Structure 1
């Protein structure tokens, strides 16, 4: 740390906001480059893993994909899926190993451009300035609950998935889970396995096989190059950043989730949630469409793997063709929650980020940060740990190390360029 001339506040070359795995990974690489920095974490390391996940939570991707910088998974089950407490231990062990300059319990409340050109950072621990600021807070700030949820009668409990802990934490009765992203389907299964009667509002999330032709699907996809495909080369372009991840689970050793099978086991399926009027729950007529589209993605992944196996002459066991085990007779459009015995609703329709504390012109009209591989057009401002920052693995343990190393290198280059320019401007003119 050093103090700039005429600057009354502590100054760092880099301030990192967020002490999770992404922010700590950047710190690791900045330390290797001897760049002065500090990491502000408003809670404590691994807080979201520890406090914002349900009891039975586990990774969806296998443990071998946990590759923090120079700190890969070192357990005895690389094909398994770490449970919540194990994830916390992994991140905490990484933080301890790198000994980052970490300040926990410090909230960053405001970032703006100062008159001197550097970034002014207001925190709960005082004022700081920096030449560069890395935002590593993730995109899960504000739980999404639709406005019409306020129409639900008070006697029906409603929570967001971030508040869910276990089936026993909900009142007795039947449960409606809204959303079929990774959280929604896993909460549905958690409740179903506990013997609760579950209703599920099915969205448009795609699904994936877990095991196919004798091997874990993510291993096939890794070999196929899906994890190396960059945003610049993706056929969907920037739109892929907002695409919902495929649903499957790592529970009990990992398995795929076919909602049609759950329907056969008694889970009631509906289309996307549309509205609530009193105890009347309204759904869109898209259940059949959403199930079919999820299956289309599932089958397409299988075909990609089949093609790769054939092209490379790989000896792999054959699989029977996919078939639908259940079809809805119709798309139910309304349900009387009281008549059905639904006493609680779990909203699992995601989150939205909150960057209102960053007073810099680096966002689009929807409030999404604009960047190229984490580098914004606003000098000195960077993002990391977001889905498709550069690759599919950018928002996961798999791709963070590469992204962090790249950002640290960019920052180093800019620091060296600024120092060179300063030296040149101070050099006396030759006569």
Structure 2
């Protein structure tokens, strides 16, 4: 088996990997992008039919490729995102090997890294001076082990496999998790006329618009997406926070689970256990709703203070008041009695870096890094939530993160060349 050499190997052909490739191309650094499937496939494969972005379209800006469509303050649908992304690679011609999986990454005997790769032409080994792992941090959907004991007549699927209400058997649906995916899937099913039961997590929520402007546009102007994680309240612990739920559907609006409850959706606290058709919940639904609303109003107050401090003319705002409340938190559900025929798990993902066989991970299996740079010279990670700022896990911050990593790579090559010349 022959070994090919490249200065930089990028693992992952999504927006993070392609952004890195764009910067390396501009810098004249030879590199290769390994993509296990096809470029940007995640957007087409793991989003439901009615998916929309929750960030305004103007946030969509990759290096050399900003959104230039007719609706910068709107929210692209899944298919529009796929179409927009499909034009990125042709705009600069990255060196990509699709359908090529990196099975293992190890340190090289004489420096650099060895990548064991399987592609259309079989297995091969590549040696790279630098490696950028751009596979994101959402690899393995979380499903509790006890879910295997739920009655087999109940269909179970992870949120990434949900496409539309019609794919599910007739009957009510239990959605587990109220983060961005869970809340929006519950909304999708609710709008489709399905009876929905929703088990709440601890996700906060945010207004879609406030005082005449999209809230995320206000937050961008306030510098929230540019604040390094170390300076954010709570510091690096922010990396474990769940994103606020809101929707871009139908031009964008709030997701108010209390309003959905008024319209017939059943709300529960954390799902704790289950077997057969019986499920047990913690009595945390009221606390979860109150906490989400408190964050919603807190963000509105931050915007109020910013408007006042900067002397900005803006229409008056009104904070949220609950439209519904539980009499008592439910703690159990019989799926058969409630007519529930399917469960959608939307409680998050775990990272899976078992193929990265280097000592750069913390006790939780997460890459230990400083703005994407690990302690192992030449090994970097990109596309992670809160890698550097709140914007790092989305289009808004990927261009900057990729540019920083490439600066480090180019700088290390210049430094190595200077040392070589000195010798």
Determine if the TM-score, normalized by the shorter chain, exceeds 0.5. Answer: yes
Shift in CA distance, 152/415, structure 1 to aligned 2, threshold 3 Å: same
List per-residue Cα deviations over 1:42-81 (Å, max 9, x = no partner): 0001100011111111111010000101211011000111
Question: Which residue, 33, 53, 57 being the options, matches 1:59?
Answer: 53
SS in 1 for 2:412: helix
Q: Structure 1 unaligned runs (5+)?
A: 1-6, 426-431
In structure 2, what is the equivalent of residue 68 of structure 1? 62
Given that 2:153 and 2:341 are in contact with CA atoms closer than 8 Å, whether structure 1 keeps it comes out as yes
Q: Which shows bigger deviation, 54-63 or 308-317?
A: 308-317
Q: Within the alignment, does 1:182 sit opposite 2:180 as a pair?
A: yes
TM-score, normalised by the number of residues in structure 2 = 0.98
SS in 1 for 2:125: strand
Residues in 2 aligned to 1:144 and 1:162: alpha-carbon distance in whole angstroms: 11
SS in 1 for 2:33: strand
Deviation for aligned residue 1:302: 0.6
Residues in 2 aligned to 1:401 and 1:319: alpha-carbon distance in whole angstroms: 33
Residues in 2 aligned to 1:201 and 1:184: alpha-carbon distance in whole angstroms: 9
Residues in 2 aligned to 1:399 and 1:15: alpha-carbon distance in whole angstroms: 21
In structure 2, what is the equivalent of residue 420 of structure 1? 418
Residues in 2 aligned to 1:239 and 1:346: alpha-carbon distance in whole angstroms: 28
Given that 1:23 and 1:136 are in contact with CA atoms closer than 8 Å, whether structure 2 keeps it comes out as yes
SS in 2 for 1:345: strand
List per-residue Cα deviations over 1:308-355 (Å, max 9, x = no partner): 111122221113342111110001000110011011100001111110
Matches within 5 A, 1:158-177: 158-177=156-175
Deviation for aligned residue 1:398: 0.7
In structure 2, what is the equivalent of residue 82 of structure 1? 76
Residues in 2 aligned to 1:48 and 1:368: alpha-carbon distance in whole angstroms: 21
Stretches (4+) displaced over 4 A = none
Given that 1:81 and 1:253 are in contact with CA atoms closer than 8 Å, whether structure 2 keeps it comes out as yes
Residues in 2 aligned to 1:93 and 1:47: alpha-carbon distance in whole angstroms: 13
Deviation for aligned residue 1:8: 5.0
Residues in 2 aligned to 1:386 and 1:320: alpha-carbon distance in whole angstroms: 35
Q: Structure 2 unaligned runs (5+)?
A: none
User: Highest Rg: 1 or 2?
Assistant: 1
In structure 2, what is the equivalent of residue 244 of structure 1? 242
Question: Which residue, 325, 328, 341 being the options, matches 2:326?
Answer: 328
Residues in 1 aligned to 2:69 and 2:278: alpha-carbon distance in whole angstroms: 49
Deviation for aligned residue 1:304: 0.4
TM-score, normalised by the number of residues in structure 1 = 0.96
Residues in 1 aligned to 2:57 and 2:111: alpha-carbon distance in whole angstroms: 43
CA RMSD of aligned residues (A): 1.0
Deviation for aligned residue 1:9: 1.2
